[in-house]
Structure 1
Amino acid sequence: MSTAIKPTKASASLTQTTNEAARRSLPQFLQARSGKMTRELLLSPGQHGLGMTPASLVADTTTTAVCGYCSTGCGLRLHVLDGEAVGLTPETNYPVNLGMACPKGWEALRVLESDDRARVPKVRRADGQMDSVSWDDALNLFTDRFKAIQAEHGNDSVAFLSTGQIPSEEMAFLGALAKFGMNIKHGDGNTRQCMATAVAAYKESFGFDAPPFTYDDFEQSDCLVFIGANPCIGHPILWERVLRNKNNPEIIVIDPRRTETAMSATEHLQLSPKSDLALLYSITHCLIEGGFVDQTFVEAHTDGFEALRSHVSRFDAETVAASSGISAEQIRRVAAKIGKGDAVSLWWTMGVNQSYEGTRTAQAIINIALITGNIGRPGTGANSITGQCNAMGSRLWSNTTNLFGHHKFENADDRSKVAEALQISVDTIPTEGSWSYDQIMEGIRAGEIKGLWIIATNPAHSWSNQEDARELLDQLDFLVVQDMYDSTETAHHADLILPAAAWGEKEGTFINSERRYGLLKKVRKAPGEALADFQIFRAIAHYWGVGEMFKQWTHPEAVFRIMQRASAGSPCDITGITGYEQIDRSGGVQWPWSAADAENCGDVDPPVQRRLFSDGEFCHPNGKARLIVDEITPPPEAPDAEYPTMLLTGRGTVSQWHTQTRTSKSPVLRKLYPNHSYIEIHPDDATTIGVANGDRVRVTSRRGSILVDAMITPTIRTGQAFMPMHYATTNQLTLSHFDPHSRQPSYKNSAVRIEKA
């Protein structure tokens, strides 16, 4: 029997009220005049998400919705007065955060009130200034320009860049509209920058992009291994779950910096940058040599063990100690701790993913879990912690890394299944996948991509080799930016800005790191004429002339039903979820939850915590997981005499988020981190350079040069430096180099020179 989460006051009735209000608004919305959609129709009741309008909320009540920042997916209790959320507190009954919230979550409502919210569509004039225009003019311009580009240069000359920040239903709409309705072959998401490596690794090792864990594993492990992960800062609520662990666990951290998480570890392996793959192979060798292999599990449930044994035999502790900066004794000691653990969980995030050999590093982590039998049981798993609030939704539903619902464009049966689920012609579905993000950017350089549609992401800040990326954006014939702010670095390059509603101003579902569908609710009106992305996609479908193809895509929960049909029979099957009301009532529902699962449970809601692979059955045709190894590759840009320092990048503080597009709007959050960009330098290097703490320094790479403050700290080793990724200047330095399997950028290995300014 599951432990159901009781709804807060009035929450069970809110979704029902929402859907009824949305359906009442549809006939008016679908009326067209002379083939155009008027402003009055666009701004019809319920238009800000076709969902929970403030008027549908009763006064003096609360409702629980999932947070819209990171992939943790916390439940926030929204306090509603006179139909509008006026405050929030962490939801004590939500199974993710159990009454906790980080500073970003506490400030989630405040950032909606910023003066630079995008309120009306804007078009760039010939002199570079932006003019406000009507939605009708904006949508006509959108369709006319993109269609003209396609007519002149071919359908593939227009592309889109999506996000991990909007609900699954909006991602599904965008991907289906672009790929099936607008004939846009190439589209990728900014999740390529954070999660592509984990996706590639899971697919190849397990046969499906399937994070196996549930957050309860943080509390059930007796040994937790964090590789390139700093949850104390990056995912503080998950770190709180670690602190609730009553097993007095071993906490092993593998990281070149002495991070906040490393300071709390029982073992910190402060390795040389990008020696992690060799180190993991050495630990694997020690596990095999020490007799810690679960032979029964390996023989029954994995392929490739003998090739793995042979490969890692070259990585003895003494050899790897010389290259990694970790003593042979510590390597053996850590291997023994992992081998002797009853419930060992291994966790990784961007320190692994954002690497030129990240996929193989992630698979080395997976290998360790598999050969020791640490999979499918409480407190175990090879577990990728996601970055953005709905990166998992992007992975499953956006038509970027996979065909809709984690199917394959190249597979005829998959195309037929998706076509039937969406009730469209199979001929509209491309027979091959998209270019990846970096290939789309290179397509601009080559003149093959002429038009680009960017939704809820900020590549002019976040893409590597930033100045080059900005120059590429300016080469486009037509750039559309669809965002909640019109002040982002990317918006400064736009020809057309479409104002979008934000978290709290629309509804849908997010999927967190543990595969949990959580409900996003509308508790405020979007400012000005801003529309939910869902409504913008509906309007574009109408103006493009494919409204009939999406006639069933009337509101987010209707799209959720379509997603359910497409998921049937797959490892991410969600056909057993009865709807938004069940997701709300249950404190979220983890996939898979099939119709068969629901039937077996009777009237009981899904169990709150569920793991994958408890039966030892994986998603490859033979039911076995694959043990995968590869050769070590050298860093693409090693330090040298001209650029002697290795620059690392990563998350800076709990209070910053990605490009600071939202967090910078909160005066509270701005007080919790340095407002000026800085670089961490070891005291010995600072002495050599001749700088003191707080001095201005010039940091130069082969891509550019910036001025930042020096932060002198022994948490970084000599010959290395660290800069938070959140500052606008950081990616002026980073190298455009990519993992060959995942196409994820390698942000954490750029050679730089640091001088006193």
Structure 2
Amino acid sequence: MTTELVRHPSDFGLGIPQHPSRLTPASTTQSICGFCSTGCSLNIHRDASGQAINLSPDPAYPVNLGMACPKGWEALTPLAATDRLTTPLLRNKITGLLEPVSWPVALAAFVENFKRIQQTHGPHALSFLSTGQIVMEEMALLGALAKFGMGMLHVDSNTRQCMATSHVAYKQSFGFDAPPFSYADFEESDALIFIGANPCIAHPIMWQRVMMNKRKPEIIVIDPRRTETAVAATLHVPLLPKSDLTLLYGFAHLLIQRGAVQRDFIDAHTSNYPAFASFLAAFTPERVSTETGLPVETLHRVVEIIATKERVSFWWTMGVNQGHESTRTAQAIINLALMTGNIGRPGTGANSITGQCNAMGSRLFGNASSLLGGYDFANDAHRTHVAAILGIDAQKIPSEKSWAYDQIIDGIDSGAIKGLWVIATNTAHSWINQKRFPELRRKLEFMVVQDMYATTETAQMADLVLPAAGWGEKEGVFINSERRLGVSRKVSRAPGEALSDFAIFQLVAEAWGCGDMFRQWSSPEAAFRILRELTRGQPCNITGIEGYDHIQHSGGIQWPYPADSSSQLPALGSKLGSHRRLFTDGHFYTADQRAVFHFDEPRPMPEPPDKAYPFLLNTGRGSSAQWHTGSRTNKSDVLVKLAPTSLYVEINPADAARLGIANNDDVLVSSRRGDAEAFAVVTSTVQPGQLFMPMHFDAVNRLTFPSFDPHSRQPSYKACAVRLARS
């Protein structure tokens, strides 16, 4: 199965166009894929007119080494979808329908309505919700335009739905949002521990890198569900849902008990360890076994591996990040790496796997919770410094950070926010407790959606829809999970009057009357030079990067890469050697250069099962051929054939027998918030009392419970109480 994930879809006999090796294109352009955070490089084959006609994975790129997952092979297909948005659409006040209008009319409607809202309700009555899918130059221009030019205060991106936890956890523990690893660590570990991660499905190229490990590693998967990755592991640890924090503290307790901590490293490079060690005394094997549902023997087996292997790496993604106590759970993983000295060396690390292609770029340059370049809105010196680089009045920069996504939604409910701009995301489908958003939409006076398609659930609710170019139709930089900057190139013409998001933001700035503030931002690469300067002296320093060609010719460049870094990269043509990890010297980004142990007592999940709703629902990725809400992957006949087309729910055989449910039966899954129709998949991959549903279908978020981590404000999509019955 893992081999098939990187085969070309034509190998499945699905009748797709000819493989590029059998064509004679006029030219080939390397470009970073625009789906997930892996950051694969694709060779885009173009005809004599410069139009992309097919693609193949880049064999000389240090990320994917000539491999691609199904989404990568089909990356060009969504661009040719028949429902592409080709002209602005404005809702007719009489008919209530979205109708084509010109760009001047669309921009006039945008400015007139949003300025009216500000004049009526105050300067902060506008907000935007953005994405981790657009390039970082677009993210930065949007954030700067909205906050410095248009006076918005509360803005956020849907990176809040996937990576806010890792951002906050790293920032508190290390002093900066700094994933420490390189993908080479997949191949150099003696033990890889995956917590709430299913890379077989979610990040198949990363899983292929694990399979290339020649050290005969132990692979441990900590997950309530027996996922595809768990099946391939040497040990599956099927804990009770949302008992991760207790389990991780239990591991730390046993490591101390057996004397398997690296006190030299702890004493030299960390702080707050004595308090953490004292706190752990309560997490005895007996308590942990009771609260996690795991045998004591399993706890000892995992700790034996951590204690005896030279190189141990810890990996997590949404199963950790999307939880009601997710930040402390991520930090419990970080604590394990710190206390065992498994950081800064090959094959080690506390390693967060990012979700979206540019969530890392959003974290650094989205200008939402952090000021551009990782600075602090509340710091006077930081605001003055950023303003000087941007050539703007420092008074234009707010001194407080934005509300988080859920707080913006609450702000719509309270009437504080009356105008909303949604860019390249599908809130009406993806937001937790989905039923609430359409109800709140009626409280907005004007909503703008900027997207490739007018057919998304969110676009259908808009007053104004702006046609945006997609991946492959514009240029800019993505930053992947291992901090590698890669260039996404324009290889196809956007249809009709669709424009790049960057160009749309420029037009909005001019129409709003603040265009002079952004004259320096004349192109994506000009914007990149501004962002590069903003990183000077920051942990994410990239002042040594000359430009897009430098990045591309180097096989991508990992930050930090300051101006004196030329010796850190191999010569051109040696791309495969370009891997760097952080904290090799044990120095972190805190004021005293010490990593900090953070911890809190575990809290019960907000909505446990009960008699009325006896099942616990888990959600996640369903197939390597599906992506998020399906707005792009559903445009590919190949990907549709490789993935389920109807919503299903996985149920344990014991539960199915008790309820009289057979495989493929139609069932109704209900929570206190809504219902979802599905067909039953009877399987032992889920434990008794638990269900699993794939997040790609819009009905799933009718069910999810709106709880949020108090530190990161990330939603907990992974646990809510439901009931199940035959339809």
TM-score range, shorter chain: over 0.9
Distance in structure 2 (CA, Å) of the matches to 1:431 and 1:507: 32
Q: Which residue of 1 aligns with 2:47?
A: 81
Q: Which residue of 1 aligns with 2:502?
A: 534
Gaps in structure 1 of 5+ consecutive residues: 1-57
**Within the alignment, does 1:388 sit opposite 2:356 as a pair?**
yes
1:595-614 matched pairs, under 5 angstroms? 595-598=563-566, 608-614=578-584
Contact 1:68 1:503 in 2 (8 A): yes
Contact 1:202 1:210 in 2 (8 A): yes
1:585 to 553, 561, 569: 553
Question: C-alpha displacement at 1:599, in angstroms?
Answer: 7.2
The amino acid that maps onto 2:85 is A
C-alpha deviations, 1:552-605, integer Å up to 9, x for none? Answer: 111010000000111000000000001111101011110010012237879889
Contact 1:290 1:336 in 2 (8 A): no
Other structure's SS at 1:595 match: coil
2:243 to 271, 275, 298: 275
The amino acid that maps onto 2:708 is F
1:108 to 62, 75, 94: 75
Gaps in structure 2 of 5+ consecutive residues: 1-23
The amino acid that maps onto 1:555 is S
2:279 to 311, 315, 322: 311
Contact 2:675 2:699 in 1 (8 A): no
Q: Which residue of 1 aligns with 2:726?
A: 756
Q: Which residue of 1 aligns with 2:464?
A: 496
Contact 2:173 2:595 in 1 (8 A): yes
Q: Which residue of 1 aligns with 2:515?
A: 547
Other structure's SS at 2:155 match: strand
Contact 1:195 1:386 in 2 (8 A): yes
Contact 1:455 1:482 in 2 (8 A): yes
Q: Tell me which moved more, 601-610 or 446-455.
A: 601-610
The amino acid that maps onto 1:636 is P
**Within the alignment, does 1:187 sit opposite 2:155 as a pair?**
yes
Contact 1:119 1:528 in 2 (8 A): yes
Distance in structure 2 (CA, Å) of the matches to 1:216 and 1:603: 19
Question: C-alpha displacement at 1:111, in angstroms?
Answer: 1.2
Question: C-alpha displacement at 1:59, in angstroms?
Answer: 6.3
Other structure's SS at 2:398 match: coil
Q: Tell me which moved more, 601-610 or 541-550.
A: 601-610
Other structure's SS at 2:564 match: helix
Question: C-alpha displacement at 1:705, in angstroms?
Answer: 1.1
Q: Which residue of 2 aligns with 1:64?
A: 30
The amino acid that maps onto 1:428 is K
Contact 2:661 2:680 in 1 (8 A): yes
Distance in structure 1 (CA, Å) of the matches to 2:417 and 2:431: 17
Question: C-alpha displacement at 1:474, in angstroms?
Answer: 2.7
C-alpha deviations, 1:649-707, integer Å up to 9, x for none? Answer: 00111001000010000000001111000000001111111110000001110000121
Q: Which residue of 1 aligns with 2:671?
A: 701
1:191-340 matched pairs, under 5 angstroms? 191-340=159-308
Distance in structure 2 (CA, Å) of the matches to 1:549 and 1:275: 50
Q: Which residue of 1 aligns with 2:412?
A: 444
**Within the alignment, does 1:673 sit opposite 2:634 as a pair?**
no
Question: C-alpha displacement at 1:251, in angstroms?
Answer: 0.4
Q: Which residue of 2 aligns with 1:520?
A: 488
C-alpha deviations, 1:37-74, integer Å up to 9, x for none? Answer: xxxxxxxxxxxxxxxxxxxxx96111110000000000
The amino acid that maps onto 2:526 is A
The amino acid that maps onto 1:669 is L
Distance in structure 2 (CA, Å) of the matches to 1:275 and 1:575: 43
Q: Percent identity?
A: 57
Question: C-alpha displacement at 1:712, in angstroms?
Answer: 0.5
1:741 to 680, 689, 711: 711
**Within the alignment, does 1:721 sit opposite 2:691 as a pair?**
yes
The amino acid that maps onto 1:749 is A
Contact 1:149 1:450 in 2 (8 A): yes
Contact 2:554 2:569 in 1 (8 A): no
- Cα distance change of structure 1 residues 203 and 586 upon mapping to structure 2, 3 Å threshold: same
Distance in structure 2 (CA, Å) of the matches to 1:200 and 1:549: 31
Q: Which residue of 2 aligns with 1:562?
A: 530
Contact 1:474 1:493 in 2 (8 A): no
Other structure's SS at 1:186 match: coil
Q: Which residue of 2 aligns with 1:118?
A: 85
Other structure's SS at 2:435 match: helix
Question: C-alpha displacement at 1:216, in angstroms?
Answer: 0.4
In the superposition, the TM-score normalised over structure 2's length comes to 0.95
In the superposition, the TM-score normalised over structure 1's length comes to 0.91
The amino acid that maps onto 1:111 is P
Aligned residue pair count: 700
C-alpha deviations, 1:110-136, integer Å up to 9, x for none? Answer: 111111111100001123211100000
Distance in structure 2 (CA, Å) of the matches to 1:585 and 1:383: 27
Other structure's SS at 1:179 match: helix
Contact 2:618 2:692 in 1 (8 A): yes
1:322-471 matched pairs, under 5 angstroms? 322-471=290-439
Contact 1:222 1:343 in 2 (8 A): yes
The amino acid that maps onto 2:152 is I
The alignment yields a C-alpha RMSD, in angstroms, of 1.2
